[in-house]
Structure 1
Amino acid sequence: MEEKNDIHFHNDDVVLDIHDRPAPFHWFGLSLQHLFTMFGATVLVPILVGINPSIALVSSGLGTLVYLTVTKGKIPAYLGSSFAFIAAMQMLMKTDGYPAIAQGALTTGVVYLIVSFVIKKIGTSWLDKVLPPIVVGPVIMVIGLGLASNAANNAMYNTSGNYDFKYVAVALLTLAVTIIFNMFLTGFLGLIPILLGIISGYFIALAFGIVNFQPVIDAPWFQLPAFEVMFVQYQPKLYLNAITTMAPIAFVTMTEHIGHLMVLNKLTKRNFFKDPGMDRTLMGDGLAQIVAGFVGGPPVTSYGENIGVLAITRVHSVFVIGGAAVFAIVLGFVGKLSALILSIPGPVISGISFVLFGVIAASGLKILVENNTNFDKKKNLLITSSILVIGIGGLVFEAGTFTLSAMALSTLIGIFLNLVLPDR
């Protein structure tokens, strides 16, 4: 059998292999499909944080092109806005504003680069000791459940801060239609239930009279995104709390990165840990995060939704992924689209968030189940309980200007407990 990472290897069991270029018309449709698949989640992150969604579209496209370049066009992965950093970015936006988020995004990218250099020198075995499933699973659960109260509050209280039944009704109806779309739609529509949920929720909100459509009418068709370019719009100072809050989360998203590579290995019949190598895949992800932060977007990460598209369509072409990245960049300059996204009411986003944040938490539980975690073992029980209560409870460690968010603190405590507690 041919070496699966040999340059001449071609997977004949798929419609288009990694380096196959589709016909122009097919190329357009296939890339558009990936764009729709990542669109809902990619713009939802900046909406929740308070960043212009058009910047997130551009930064995700740029980040994906950087990733494809660094990995030598060998891995068909799309990078979109990361959900793991939402709570940290929301906190930083309230305390220090966008420059702190940009510095945090740059820091996470640097962490990726450092780890990629370490892996190139000594391999990957140490990662399993630092981030085993008993730590990663609960931390991912914290990422989802730690945001639950924000979603609930946005679903209950209007812009005046008062409880509003209409808001609750819109949120629950949006949740209901999104669940129905997830459960019963098939084919291409089955790949975009979140996007369809947002669209349906928007029409529901219109019916309840809580949408202000005037900004969409007033917006121009072409508009330069409100980039927050570092060293141009502002001169960043050192935000130590941004670094200590976001840097530890990078180790959590690395586990997601590794998991996605494992799935792609199986789909494409290749070994990306060997070629182009995990050092390059992490370097590509890290540089993509740095580029995203530099232009004003949230940190980016590989998207499981787009991997699902690869699996269903059996189209693995990096040209299709690159086409989706170009579409995302172009779309970021459409002014009316940005205004339309910004006009989505809070309860619609909350209805979607009930699903997305819950899915994030459930995926953490799935990691524990799939690895047959034994909770009769005191070590596992203590690690999990400490991470969950500290992370979800919102315990923050502050010492002067030094701050650790609940998510970062729970991650570090989980890593520490796993390393020091005896197995018996």
Structure 2
Amino acid sequence: MASPAPDTAAPVAPVASVAPVDERLPLPRLAPLAFQHLLAGIAAPVSSVILIGTTLSLSASRTASLLSATLVLCGVGALLQSLGIRALRIGARLPFLMLPGGAAVAIFLQVAKEHGPATASGSVLIAAVFLILVLPLYGRLVRFFPPLVMGTTVVLIGINMIKITAPMIASGPGLGFATLGITALFFLVLRGVWRQMSVLFGLVGGTVVAAVGGTAFHLAHGSTFALPEPFPYGTPHFDLLAAVPLLVFALASLAEATGQTVLNSEAVGRTPDAARDVPRISRADAVASLGAGVFGTSLMVTSAENIGIVQLTRVRSRFVTAGAGVLLIVCGLITPLTRLLAAIPEPVVGAAGLIIYAVIATMGFGMLSRENLGHGTNGIVVALALCVGLLPVFAPEMYAGLPVWARTVFGSGVAAGALAAVVLAAVFGRLGPKEERAGQERAGQEKDEAGAGTEVGPAR
């Protein structure tokens, strides 16, 4: 009997599974998902830039150009974070968006009001370079910004900016309060991704009320497509002391990026690796912020606002946020859209800004509420830091007799309060009563075990 023929078929190679975060979707499916992420992210740059333009009394055409630049930078940042540049270790290759953070805009405006917009642009460039330089020290620096320090800093940012924003409503109180009411109504009735756009809808609603009431609008004219204008305030002015608030924010952003990384990684099913991903995230932030300094806007920071969409749709692909980045760039280059948004009246913008910064302050209080302030040293650290940070708000003249460098540092409520919180937290943490330090260490361990470290801070 003949022996059976040998099996000459080649072995079948196992098919490599693609991680959900690396899944490439067909365009018909990717486009609507990318548009959802666009909706989640576009409110922040629109409201922030209109607030900058109104606060600095920029012309309609200059504000439109600034908005165009910011939208393009948001898109470029989303591409950097979603696709990454492996050779340069830029971008985490996670579904992140990049936006002008509320706190960063607040500090930018504070520097611009005190030292001029050219100095504010120079400070953004200084902070971006500084962030790149300190990244190798990430592990050592992040411990100086625990939730106690970040919560205090966020509260001070919100209160300082409320003082600047509130007078904008005074030019049209009725219109401002109407905008507040419309925004609150949208927050009440909307859900999901639409609710994230309540401030933007409030801006639109307030503008409609203004139009019905006969308010004159000043629309800039120009071509349909145009590139953003570099150096809108002239040559940037570099003042290291004036840049201190943004330098403090840049350091604090490392601590917040840690929480962002853990949250996003877990949402897409990737094992969190902060030591690898946080420097890459912050490096992309710094690259986009260099562009922000050139085009006259605030520091750009990675945001996890869109993570709710990831969890809602269960689509974890980073190519979806890359698609949203492309859409943001296109929106930035369509100048009629940016000119229309830039024409929103000042009281409407002031009301939207008031909501944004009041929410920032509230989030800061929320961060502090998770700390034990009832007894021990935490309460006195927050109290003293708030004293230092609020004195320039309520009694700015008290530093008039100090040298220029001291007025620059202590006259800025955010910088002074943040530095005080860092120093006080470190000193009390090292030299405070042993019993309290041991209790704080146990509380920190319990929070870690409960997963509290995955929460995302709002300062970005």
| TM-score tier after normalising by the smaller chain length | 0.7 to 0.9
Alpha carbons 1:62, 1:291 under 8 Å: kept: no
Alpha carbons 1:116, 1:280 under 8 Å: kept: no
Summarize the Cα distance change of 1:178–1:235 in structure 2 as closer, same or farther, 3 Å threshold.
closer
State the 1:247 CA deviation: 0.9
State the 1:125 CA deviation: 5.7
Partner of 2:126: 107
Code of the residue aligned with 1:358 in structure 2: it is A
Code of the residue aligned with 2:415 in structure 1: it is A
State the 1:358 CA deviation: 1.9
Partner of 2:50: 47
Q: Does 1:210 align with 2:215?
A: yes
Alpha carbons 1:43, 1:81 under 8 Å: kept: no
Greater Cα shift, 301-310 or 34-43: 301-310
State the 1:211 CA deviation: 4.1
Q: Does 1:373 align with 2:375?
A: no
Partner of 2:270: 270
Residue 380 (structure 2) aligned to one of 373, 382, 386: 382
1:259-281 Cα offsets, whole Å, 9 max, x none, are 22222132122234258432222
Calculate the aligned-residue CA RMSD, in Å: 2.5
Alpha carbons 1:140, 1:252 under 8 Å: kept: no
Q: How does 1:1-400 map to 2 (within 5 A)?
A: 17-50=20-53, 52-68=66-82, 69-70=84-85, 71=90, 74-119=93-138, 124=139, 126-128=141-143, 130-156=144-170, 158=171, 167-212=172-217, 214-215=218-219, 218-228=221-231, 235-273=235-273, 276-370=276-370, 372-377=371-376, 379-394=377-392, 399-400=403-404
State the 1:22 CA deviation: 2.1
Q: TM-score, normalising length from structure 2?
A: 0.78
Summarize the Cα distance change of 1:314–1:355 in structure 2 as closer, same or farther, 3 Å threshold.
farther
C-alpha distance in structure 1 between counterparts of 2:230 and 2:70, whole Å: 10
Summarize the Cα distance change of 1:264–1:322 in structure 2 as closer, same or farther, 3 Å threshold.
same
Summarize the Cα distance change of 1:126–1:330 in structure 2 as closer, same or farther, 3 Å threshold.
closer
State the 1:76 CA deviation: 1.0
Partner of 1:3: none
Alpha carbons 2:225, 2:334 under 8 Å: kept: yes
State the 1:256 CA deviation: 2.7
Give secondary structure in 2 for the equivalent of 1:79: strand
Summarize the Cα distance change of 1:399–1:174 in structure 2 as closer, same or farther, 3 Å threshold.
same
Code of the residue aligned with 1:137 in structure 2: it is G
Aligned pairs, how many?
Answer: 391
Alpha carbons 1:55, 1:225 under 8 Å: kept: yes
Give secondary structure in 2 for the equivalent of 1:315: coil
Summarize the Cα distance change of 1:72–1:57 in structure 2 as closer, same or farther, 3 Å threshold.
closer
Alpha carbons 1:62, 1:329 under 8 Å: kept: yes
Partner of 2:7: none
C-alpha distance in structure 1 between counterparts of 2:203 and 2:42, whole Å: 11
Summarize the Cα distance change of 1:340–1:197 in structure 2 as closer, same or farther, 3 Å threshold.
same
Q: Does 1:418 align with 2:417?
A: no
State the 1:400 CA deviation: 2.7
C-alpha distance in structure 1 between counterparts of 2:271 and 2:292, whole Å: 28
Give secondary structure in 2 for the equivalent of 1:215: coil
Code of the residue aligned with 1:374 in structure 2: it is L
Partner of 1:164: none
State the 1:355 CA deviation: 2.4
Q: Which has the larger radius of gyration?
A: 2
C-alpha distance in structure 1 between counterparts of 2:305 and 2:202, whole Å: 15
Summarize the Cα distance change of 1:309–1:392 in structure 2 as closer, same or farther, 3 Å threshold.
farther
Residue ranges of structure 1 left out of the alignment (5+ in a row): 1-7, 12-16, 159-166
Greater Cα shift, 271-280 or 103-112: 271-280
Summarize the Cα distance change of 1:106–1:243 in structure 2 as closer, same or farther, 3 Å threshold.
same
C-alpha distance in structure 1 between counterparts of 2:275 and 2:149, whole Å: 28
State the 1:77 CA deviation: 0.6
Alpha carbons 2:35, 2:324 under 8 Å: kept: yes
Code of the residue aligned with 1:413 in structure 2: it is A
Q: TM-score, normalising length from structure 1?
A: 0.84
Give secondary structure in 1 for the equivalent of 2:354: helix
Code of the residue aligned with 2:392 in structure 1: it is G
1:207-254 Cα offsets, whole Å, 9 max, x none, are 222241x515x443223322228xxx9554532333223211212333
Code of the residue aligned with 1:55 in structure 2: it is A
Give secondary structure in 1 for the equivalent of 2:243: helix
C-alpha distance in structure 2 between counterparts of 1:249 and 1:338, whole Å: 28
1:114-145 Cα offsets, whole Å, 9 max, x none, are 332123xxxx26522x1122211111111112
C-alpha distance in structure 1 between counterparts of 2:273 and 2:69, whole Å: 31
State the 1:423 CA deviation: 2.5
Alpha carbons 1:78, 1:303 under 8 Å: kept: yes
Alpha carbons 2:264, 2:304 under 8 Å: kept: no
C-alpha distance in structure 2 between counterparts of 1:30 and 1:183, whole Å: 25
Alpha carbons 2:51, 2:353 under 8 Å: kept: no
State the 1:324 CA deviation: 1.4
Alpha carbons 2:175, 2:206 under 8 Å: kept: yes
State the 1:187 CA deviation: 4.2
Give secondary structure in 2 for the equivalent of 1:260: helix
1:151-184 Cα offsets, whole Å, 9 max, x none, are 221111x2xxxxxxxx222222211221222222
State the 1:380 CA deviation: 1.6
Runs of 4+ in 1 over 6 A off after TM superposition: none
State the 1:343 CA deviation: 0.8
C-alpha distance in structure 1 between counterparts of 2:130 and 2:272, whole Å: 21
Alpha carbons 2:168, 2:347 under 8 Å: kept: yes
State the 1:292 CA deviation: 2.5
Say which structure, 1 or 2, has more relative contact order (CA 8 Å, 6+ apart): 1
Alpha carbons 2:147, 2:367 under 8 Å: kept: yes
Code of the residue aligned with 1:392 in structure 2: it is L
Residue identity over aligned pairs, in percent, reads 24
State the 1:61 CA deviation: 1.6
